[in-house]
Amino acid sequence: MSKFKLAMIVALCAAVVVPAFTRTPQAPASSSAASAPDPKLPDSKLPDPKLPDPKLPDAKLVEDLVYANRILSDQVVVDAFGHVSERDDKDPNRFLLARSVAPALVTKADILEFDRNGEPIDARGRAVYLERFIHAAIYRARPDVKAIVHSHSPAVIPFGVTGTILRPIYHMSAFLGAGAPVFEIRNGAGMTNMMITDNKLGDALAKSLGDGTVVLMRGHGSVAVGDSILQVVHRAIYTEVNARLQAEAARLGSINFLTPEEAAKADAQTDSMASISRPWELWKSRIGKID
């Protein structure tokens, strides 16, 4: 019997005795990244099974999100910081995101659901990421976006602070198109702590992203978006690779980038599900089984 089938049966049985998971929006949880995460909390499975509610996000979605967290850490896109989210397949006004914990340590039990304003539906006492508004704002602004990665991936940082545009140096990062825009938090908000800690700052960031695939954040990091968890992981990783290659090339001479037309044609191939499935399987094989 497949692991998924087994999990489904366990979930259905558990539903009889487990208290209902109420999906009614609640007041914002009082917990925040300012309170230390408590690893001793019981591992209540999310989605918490509740038979009458057909809107629970797919179990495969949760599993892929856990893999995405681990893969982004293994591929050095995130360290202890950075996060990846996924739009709820049943309710487009909600998204899934881990509690405040290093991506390498995320398990299924750490995945929480958030509403369109970035507040947890039920934080279950867990601390949540301070910058969850990055995700909320972009999901509001971009209905086509199904998954988002925010990171401080190292090779990208220099492009955010020097005015050098990050552009596609080869076919694998053709999704960068004519180049990634840079979000300057000073423009709207003056002197800040550099972080996206509310919806207003989130909206400003989403505006900088526009209809693009990647936006850099000056003195902070970057955000990649995609139409699936596979695509956004692929984009976050090759954004970092492109930055590494472009910085190297810039020292050798003037760079002959993909033209916008080449980028569009290459993107249709390298960014397709067929193409991104190959690295996804490789990256997953390096992670092994997850909880």
131: tokens are 């910058």
Q: Reply yes or no on whether 240 is catalytic.
A: no
- Which residue, chain included where needed, has tokens 């507040």? 119
Taking the least distance from each CB to a second copy, the nearer of 24 and 193 is: 193
Taking the least distance from each CB to a second copy, the nearer of 56 and 233 is: 233
What residues between 36 and 55 interact with a second copy by CB under 8 A? 36-37, 39
**What's the min distance (Å) between Cβ of 173 and a second copy?**
10
Of 60-68, 90-98, 118-126, 150-158, which part binds a second copy (CB under 8 A)?
A: 150-158
What are the residue ranges of helices labelled H in 55-132?
Answer: 59-74
Taking the least distance from each CB to a second copy, the nearer of 59 and 130 is: 130
The count of residues interacting with a second copy (CB under 8 A) is 75
- Helices 133-141 + 199-209 axis angle, to 10: 50
What residues between 268 and 287 interact with a second copy by CB under 8 A? 268-269, 272-275, 277-279, 281-283, 285
Report whether 243 contacts 288 (CB < 8 A). no
Q: Which of 152, 188, 198, 207 binds a second copy (CB under 8 A)?
A: 152
Q: Which of 224, 242, 201 is nearest to 84 (CA)?
A: 224
Of 7-15, 63-71, 87-95, 242-250, which part binds a second copy (CB under 8 A)?
A: 242-250
Q: Which of 54, 191, 211, 289 binds a second copy (CB under 8 A)?
A: 191
Taking the least distance from each CB to a second copy, the nearer of 47 and 85 is: 85
Report whether 171 contacts 266 (CB < 8 A). yes
Q: Which of 130, 141, 178, 287 binds a second copy (CB under 8 A)?
A: 130
Residues 6+ apart with CB under 8 A from 64: 86, 229, 230
**What's the min distance (Å) between Cβ of 192 and a second copy?**
6
Taking the least distance from each CB to a second copy, the nearer of 15 and 33 is: 33
Which is catalytic among the residues 86, 113, 119, 131? 131
- Which residue, chain included where needed, has tokens 């094989």? 285
Provide the β-strand partners of residue 148: 85, 225
Q: Which of 92, 19, 96 is nearest to 51 (CA)?
A: 19
Residue 28 has phi, psi (to 5 degrees) of -50, 135
Residue type, 155: A
Taking the least distance from each CB to a second copy, the nearer of 207 and 265 is: 265
Q: Which of 2, 24, 30, 193 binds a second copy (CB under 8 A)?
A: 193
d(CA 242, CA 248): 10
**What's the min distance (Å) between Cβ of 55 and a second copy?**
28
Q: Is 81 in the site for a second copy (CB under 8 A)?
A: yes
* 45-to-128, 161, 220, 270, 285 alpha-carbon distances in Å: 17, 41, 33, 36, 24
Q: Is 247 in the site for a second copy (CB under 8 A)?
A: yes
Cα 213–Cα 216–Cα 222 angle in degrees, nearest 5? 85
Q: Which of 194, 203, 228, 287 binds a second copy (CB under 8 A)?
A: 194
Residues involved in catalysis: 131
